[in-house]
Amino acid sequence: MEAVEVGEVQVIRRGEVAVLAEAEMRRFADALACLEPDEWRLPTVCAPWSVRDMAGHVLGMAGTFSGWVPLLRVLRALPRLARQPGTLLDAGTAMQVRTHAGLSTAEVVGGLRRVAPRHARWRARRRLFRALPVPNVMRDGSVETWRMAYLLDRIGTRDTWMHRADLAAATGRPMVLTAGHDGRIVADVVAEWAQRHGQPFTLELTGPAGGRFRAGRGGPDLSLDAVEFCRILSGRGTGDGLLATEVPF
């Protein structure tokens, strides 16, 4: 397979958001629906979350970004969340877990399937607040200011996708992967990773979601599994050199 020049990879934009977001939410729900009762209690890499906690977070995130009423409800809670220990993001995700803790596992799966199309359409149709600044604390303690468009178009789908990878890692069950869906998400991650470090490289990502990418001339030749590549960049694994470059999920 010939390597793709990474500068030719188009970042995910509004036109793709609805299809990718809905498909990913449904895949996450399908993966949860296969679990045995004891698997819901398994720990995940997102400590202190169990599989059940992580599912509650994903459902809460999808519900928040599915209409103005749930979003405004969360925005009204921001002053209270800001007084809690940790980052605002930590406090917000913990609230999502608590909010859905009383649901049965069947209700969680059903909720994800019901909210998936509404969540996907709502994210894709937003125009008015795409330029809204959103501060985010990175793993090294630095603060990046994003635009809401970045969250709506890219991070929202990446977050669910990575939690589906977390689910596979926690349970030992295989992660359903296809080139058209997962490969598109991974390629978008590669493009951002390359932009963030700005160095030449050749990258071979194996597996159904993989591909070959290059930037410039020279630089390291890297080869690893596509999902593991994303896990490393997200901080779930360790990498050196260019693989130490953080990409938000």
Cα separation, 209 vs 28, whole angstroms: 16
pLDDT at 91: 77
Domain segments of the chain: what residues?
13-171, 181-244
Residues 6+ apart with CB under 8 A from 168: 31, 174, 175
Burial tier of 197 (Cβ tally within 10 Å: 0-12, 13-18, 19+): middle
Segments of the chain with pLDDT less than 50: none
pLDDT at 161: 98
Whole-angstrom Cα Rg for the chain:
18
pLDDT at 189: 98
Cα separation, 20 vs 12, whole angstroms: 9
pLDDT at 75: 78
Q: State the number of CA atoms in the 13 A half-sphere of 168 facing the CB.
A: 16
- What CATH number labels 13-171? 1.20.120.450
Burial tier of 41 (Cβ tally within 10 Å: 0-12, 13-18, 19+): exposed
**Under a CB-based contact definition with an 8 Å cutoff, are residues 37 and 219 in contact?**
no
- Looking at the whole model, is its pTM more than 0.95? no
Count of helix runs (H) and strand runs (E) in the chain: 9, 6
**pLDDT tens digit sequence for 165-220:** 999 999 999 999 999 999 999 999 999 999 999 999 999 999 999 999 999 999 99
